[in-house]
Structure 1
Amino acid sequence: MTLLEAHVQDQYPTRVDSESELAWITSDEPTVRPGVPEGPASGTELGNHARDGFHVQRDLLSEQEVTACLDELRSMVGDPALRADERTVTEPASNEIRSVFDAHLISERIARLIREPRILDRARQLLGSDVYVHQSRVNFMPGFSGNGFYWHSDFETWHAEDGMPRMGAVSLSIGLTDNYAYNGGLMLMPGAHRTFVPCLGRTPDENYQSSLKAQKVGVPQEEDIAELARRHGIEQFTGPSGSALWFDCNSMHGSGNNITPYPRSNLFVVFNSVDNALVEPFSARERRPGFVASRDFTPLRP
């Protein structure tokens, strides 16, 4: 399929000009795809993932592994060269580090971790194919001053600004600190991943430079969020450090600010199917940088 054909076959139009174009689109894409019948995920976990668009994996990392990852994070934060790098995103007001992208390329420890069968084979099992890393980052939400993420679907952004054709990606968020109900933990709407919600407004050039700090374009209307919440409800990911959340790329999710003394940090990795490789952006004039949306589609190997 050519790039032009991919654009003609855009099944999820978004970043539209008027509210009359904001009709929801029901997705019939499988959340758990056939193709890799065996893997570490249980039948119950796969069923929950298909129904809700996410599932929780307790104790993915041991205490020792969490400590080692936190040491990596401290090394990243303490590296002046990395702090000055474009891959490091800071909070708009406090200038504290919010995210460091390309975590699996910066850290050999993280690179090895995401290739372990307990992680890689689960990603392949969910997506039914070989996978590559679309994006990876470590997120920091410091106590008292950590800002949350407004309600959104990652797929809407990846489709509009990166050219991800279909909903063939899954995200993994590993808690490196305890996730409480009160320190900015991730909230999700179970089952809302079946609905694609178009967003209003054209994509500004180089939108990623501001959206990685505070997303303003590519967020649903308040009435859409309210109706989705009425239909599906809201659940929150909580658990001790080492717990993990796997969620579909079209899951409607967000997080509140952290005004508690307890920081929240996580390792975030997006696995995309090699059968879902990026084309040109559907609703943006230019590609985002590779650290945000990789175009190296080489399958990840153990």
Structure 2
Amino acid sequence: MTLVDVHIQDRYPTRVDSGSGRAWIVRDEPAVRPGVQKGPASAAELTDHARDGFHIQRDLLSDQEVAGCLDELREMTNDPALRADERTIIEPGSDEVRSVFDAHLISDRIAHLIREPRILDRARQILGSEVYVHQSRVNFMPGFRGNGFYWHSDFETWHAEDGMADMSAVSLSIGLTENHAFNGGLMLMPGAHRTFVPCLGRTPDENYRSSLRAQKVGVPQEEDIAELAHRHGIEQFTGASGSALWFDCNSMHGSGNNITPYPRSNIFVVFNSVENALVEPFSARERRPGFVASRDFTPLRP
């Protein structure tokens, strides 16, 4: 039994039984919403985002800003107290840090950065409203041992386990190292964000404890991934450090393992519309903790 508010319709049922209600759902929500007329994103970038579900922003951070962020992240990963904190996720089978959540609350530099108009106003422009931070983290993919992320839609998890009713969220990934085509860079299927793919299997209690290391529930079936790939193709985000990728919450994306000597690190921030505040989970018995899915819906201010 879930805890869904009886007044909220589940428009995207998922975590279903095999062969029961697993038909794809055509999305009728826009990826770029009206409501905010002015902002840093160009008309061409917004067109790309609406069509593909993502767009790339080159040179978002200067070399100096990248260096400052990397210095701060090294301090974070070397802090014994933070390494022992639940918000720090360790790679399966090693002592390498995979992710540190609540990045905008832990790091003053990141907190300041995401409030700058070049970032905050673009998020508002895409979502057509005021926004808050649903989730933030820094991701590390070390050389030789960095594990990838299997194909998935973030919205499927946020809907099922966090109670995000609508697709009114956008993610920002800022590369702090160069994203090559060979060091585990993010792959996306352009246009697949217009289709919601329900997933099989019930959500285990406290699923986040294992899914943040290796997701097993909430991933599409191989035949779904294959069909989406045949329809839409696959593109990969590459670019120099300081480049950024903005992508829709329902983008189908994933990354391979990094077996090269070149590490890949990024800042990841999810902006959700204040008009899309979380309700109770649609396909889970309990809420995930606040560092994974914030329930502070206060609009982010410059």
Counterpart position of 1:15: 15
> What corresponds to 2:26 in structure 1?
26
Q: Secondary structure at the match of 1:269?
A: strand
The equivalent of 2:7 in structure 1 is 5
Structure 1 segments of 4 or more deviating over 2 A? Answer: none
* Distance (Å, rounded) in 2 between the aligned partners of 1:143 and 1:54: 27
- Equivalences for residues 232-243 of structure 1 within 5 A: 232-243=232-243
Amino acid aligned to 2:245: L
Give the paired residue count: 299
Q: Report the AA paired with residue 42 of structure 2.
A: S
- Which residue of the partner structure matches residue 113 of structure 1? 113
**1:148-163, aligned counterparts within 5 Å?**
148-163=148-163
Please name the residue that 2:80 is paired with.
Answer: 80
Distance 2:21 2:30 in 1: 25
State the alpha-carbon separation in 1 of the partners of residues 144 and 19 from structure 2: 37
Deviates more, 1:88-97 or 1:220-229: 88-97
- What amino acid does structure 1 have at the position aligned with 2:167? M
Match of 1:130 in 2: 130
Q: TM-score, normalised by structure 1?
A: 0.98
CA distance in 1, matches of 2:141, 2:22: 32
Distance 1:271 1:152 in 2: 18
**Identity of aligned pairs, percent?**
84
Q: Where does 1:89-238 land on structure 2 (aligned, <5 Å)? A: 89-238=89-238
User: What is the rounded CA distance, in whole Å, between the counterparts of 2:231 and 2:207 in structure 1?
Assistant: 31
In 1, the alpha carbon distance for the partners of 2:76 and 2:284 equals: 31
- CA distance in 1 between counterparts of 2:127 and 2:21 reads 30
Give CA-to-partner distance per residue, 1:171-207, whole Å, 9 cap, x none.
0000000000000000000000000000000000000
* Secondary structure of the corresponding residue to residue 238 of structure 2: coil
Residue 254 (structure 2) aligns with: 254
> Which secondary structure state, in structure 2, belongs to the residue aligned with residue 21 of structure 1?
coil
Distance in structure 1 (CA, Å) of the matches to 2:225 and 2:14? 16
SS at match of 2:254: strand
Q: Secondary structure at the match of 2:20?
A: helix
1:98-155 deviation digits (Å, cap 9, x = unpaired): 0000000001110000000000000000000000000000000000000000000000
1:3 CA drift (Å): 2.3
Task: Kindly state the Cα deviation for residue 261 of structure 1 after the two structures are TM-superposed.
Answer: 0.1
SS in 2 for 1:5: coil
CA shift, 1:18, in A, is 1.8
Q: How is 1:248-287 mapped onto 2 (pairs within 5 angstroms)?
A: 248-287=248-287
Q: Secondary structure of 1:19's partner?
A: coil
Gaps of 5+ in 2: none
